[in-house]
Amino acid sequence: MNDRRRARLAQYAERINRALGLLRRCPPAAVLRTLARRYRVSPRQARRYVDAAQQHPQGVPVPEPTVVFTVKLPASLARRLRALARATGVSLSSLVTRGLEEWLHRVRPGPGGGG
């Protein structure tokens, strides 16, 4: 998945959450008109946002922006990570992110921490 797609996913999540907030105060027809006008989308697309909002009453998480972070790894480790990503169907970035998040959770770096 490239960065442009991620930006659209964040935008989509924000629009669903906006639709949800509007649905709590206004009837669906008014929400459709508001979304179509605000985001310059067709009434049909606005309906999709409303439908998605109704399916997710707690809202949807907005993905955090990502950055490129280059590191040097031993070649054998990089090969193993790529092989695992292929075998599991998970992107290399997602696999590494998950691993680092789990490691940081265990280590709890900071003042007096174990990191």
The ranges assigned to domains in the chain are 3-55, 68-115
Q: What pLDDT, in 10s, does the model give residues 78-96?
A: 999 999 999 999 999 999 9
Among 57, 56, 33, 55, which residue's Cα sits nearest to residue 46? Answer: 33
pTM of the model: 0.61
What pLDDT sits at residue 3? 44
* Overall residue count recorded for the chain in this entry: 115
User: Tokens standing for 61?
Assistant: 């998480």
CA distance 73 to 30: 54
According to CATH, what is the number of the domain 68-115? 1.10.1220
**Residues in the chain with pLDDT < 50?**
1-4, 112
CA distance 91 to 37: 36
